[in-house]
Amino acid sequence: MLVLLPPSETKRPGGEGAPLDVDALALPALRPQRESVIDALIALSADEDEAARVLKLSARRRHEIADNAALRTAATMPAVDRYTGVLFDALDADTLDDAARSWLGAHVGIHSAPFGPVGALDAIPAYRLAAGTSLPGVAPLRRLWAAAVTASLGQANPGFVLDLRSEAYVALGPVPADVASAYVRVVTAGEAGAVRALNHFNKHTKGAFVRALAMSRPEVDDLGDLLEWAHANAWTVRTTDTGDIELVV
């Protein structure tokens, strides 16, 4: 099973790892796209005012331009530790034991805008780039990434994909049609039936769900296996007519 997570806008600074090694990232066939976006971000950083405009940065966030300028030289840390925010706070990967973290490394991808999907333990630097940004010097990110990511996911042959990404990141790399997958929607049970969960609960629930998977490390080869594990571990998960699954909170 491959679990796909969205990134977070907020990130931890610094790191103790060696500078970015593009060749060491998951899905190595994505190197041309990664190099293009990295080069474009570094070039954009040479004009701070233009970078702030393109990246839609407030004065308080302008320091993130320097992060982009240093993409090839800055210290790195595992992607799952780099991201902060509600989802990653609930996942709380830093407190997991070695076996659980190894499971994350083998089964979880985080879909970034500059690097595409990376492994949870892949070493990445801090950066600033959102899925919807129109970046000078490269094609629109959806056109740049989508077909290449889909092809790379197919080549990886994950067997079953549990897709917890936001729709913006799904657009940057849909799961191949011939790969079994399930898109997760977090919902709350209201009096008139299920309704979509608010953003905070959506993100928190996804993080907690992946943490539970990492801690128990089930063998999941298909949707049936996932549903069986969820029900045995007090998670309310149900399928829908569209083929998605609803995670009820």
Q: pLDDT tens-digit profile of 162-213?
A: 999 999 999 999 999 999 999 999 999 876 677 887 788 999 999 999 999 9
**Mean pLDDT over the full length of the chain:** 95
Please answer whether residues 8 and 113 qualify as being in contact, where contact means their C-beta atoms are separated by less than 8 angstroms.
Answer: no
Q: What angle do CA 78, 142, 22 make, to 5 degrees?
A: 35
Q: Report the Cα 84 to chain-centroid distance in Å.
A: 12
Closest to 73 measured CA to CA, from 106, 102, 38, 103: 38
Residue 215 has a pLDDT of: 98
Q: What confidence tens digit (pLDDT) does each residue in 20-43 have?
A: 999 999 999 999 999 999 999 999
Q: Which of 109, 245, 79, 108 is nearest to 173 (CA)?
A: 109
> What distance in Å separates the CA atoms of residue 148 and residue 170, rounded to the nearest whole number?
13
Q: How far apart are CA 240 and CA 243, in angstroms?
A: 5
Q: Is the pLDDT of residue 58 over 70?
A: yes
